[in-house]
Amino acid sequence: MSARLVNRGLDALTWLVLALMLSPILWLVLSSLQTDGQLSRGAYDLLSPTFDAFTRMWQSVDFERYLLNSLIICTAAALCATAFAACAGYALARFQFRGGKALSLGVVGTQLIPGSLFLLPVFMGFVWLKQNTPIALFDTHLGMVLVYTAFFTPVAIYFMRYFFIAIPRDLEEAAMVDGCNRFGAFVKIVLPAAAPGLVATFVYAFLFAWDELLFVAALTQENAETIPIGIRNFIGNYQERTAQLMAAGVVSTLPVLIAFFATQRWLVKGITAGAVKG
């Protein structure tokens, strides 16, 4: 068998795997354009799609609120995690201090503990705060932002540390000779040079928070519920709103897709090329 044939075969296999992986999304999109009746009968009519589900989904469930909550909580948490991680990651990458190595190891170590173990302590903590202090974290945006920030900061630190290690020290030293103090060099030179890392870390944290169900289900009741809860609400005991469920799925995937395509240039290649001899 010629090498060309093998290559063609491998190409075909790649496309097949890709098609298989994308087929649920196709199914999601196609189903969102049908009526509940068509879906329950399995009688898809692809030639006459209807956007009915997309208009009704906002009325039957307050999906706008969930979407807004998700956007606020996920953006804030991802911003906080990225900001904290940038500072901590830089310190771990550049400074030698007592306990620095242990701290680096500890940051990675946190990832070995299943996150769900923290659910009960966090829940009890929130309840205790609510009963004994004026600090309101249960079912608030702030509470969820704090939880997600705490969750994603360690792994974000781990990410950022490696991005900073890859940035040549010469850059910030040049900035310091040019007239910056260390913090100025960090803000004006290192952070922009680490922009792909910052974007990647932000997107990573954002996407994880966007999908998270367990904690938001336990720690919110009404005010701060996010999209995963909202989607669940389309399925009730006495109602079948499958088309709207699918439409909500499509709508909730859109920000993720937009985030990915808008930042993929940054995610894939760094801009540090050319800073030093390459």
Q: 186, 183, 126: which is closest to 150 by C-alpha?
A: 126
Q: Is 174 in the site for another protein (CB under 8 A)?
A: yes
Segment contacting another protein (CB under 8 A): 58-66, 125-133, 179-187, 244-252?
179-187
Q: Is 17 in the site for another protein (CB under 8 A)?
A: no
| 183/238 with CB nearer another protein | 183
| 180/217 with CB nearer another protein | 180
Q: Is 177 in the site for another protein (CB under 8 A)?
A: yes
DSSP line for 120-184 = HHHHHHHHHHHHHSS---TTSHHHHHHHHHHHHHHHHHHHHHHHHHTS-HHHHHHHHHHT--HHH
| Binding residue (CB under 8 A) for another protein from 6, 173, 236, 262 | 173
Q: What string marks each residue from 201 to 240 as x (binds another protein by CB under 8 A) or -?
A: ----------------------------------------
Segment contacting another protein (CB under 8 A): 117-125, 145-153, 186-194, 232-240?
186-194
| Binding residue (CB under 8 A) for another protein from 201, 226, 252, 272 | 272
Contacts of 189 (CB under 8 A, 6+ apart): 171, 172, 174, 175, 180
Provide, rounded to whole angstroms, the least separation between the CB of residue 195 and another protein. 7
Q: How far apart, in Å, are the Cα atoms of 228 and each of 17, 93, 194, 278? A: 27, 36, 32, 45
Provide, rounded to whole angstroms, the least separation between the CB of residue 201 and another protein. 17
Residue 56 C-alpha from the chain's centroid: 27
Query: In which residue are the tokens 């050319």 written?
Result: 274
Question: What whole-number distance in Å separates Cα of residue 74 and Cα of residue 206?
Answer: 5
Token pair belonging to 149? 């920030």
Count, residues near another protein per rule CB under 8 A: 26
Q: How far apart are the first and last CA of the chain?
A: 41
Evaluate whether 29 touches 49 at the Cβ level (below 8 Å).
Answer: no
Q: Is 265 in the site for another protein (CB under 8 A)?
A: no
Residue 75 C-alpha from the chain's centroid: 9
Q: What string marks each residue from 143 to 172 as x (binds another protein by CB under 8 A) or -?
A: -------------------------x-xx-
Evaluate whether 198 touches 126 at the Cβ level (below 8 Å).
Answer: no
Q: Is 45 in the site for another protein (CB under 8 A)?
A: no
Query: In which residue are the tokens 């298989």 written?
Result: 20
Q: Is 192 in the site for another protein (CB under 8 A)?
A: yes
| Binding residue (CB under 8 A) for another protein from 78, 86, 88, 175 | 175
Segment contacting another protein (CB under 8 A): 130-138, 154-162, 187-195, 203-211?
187-195
Q: Give contact residues for another protein (rule: CB under 8 A).
A: 96, 168, 170-171, 173-181, 184, 189, 192-193, 195, 271-278
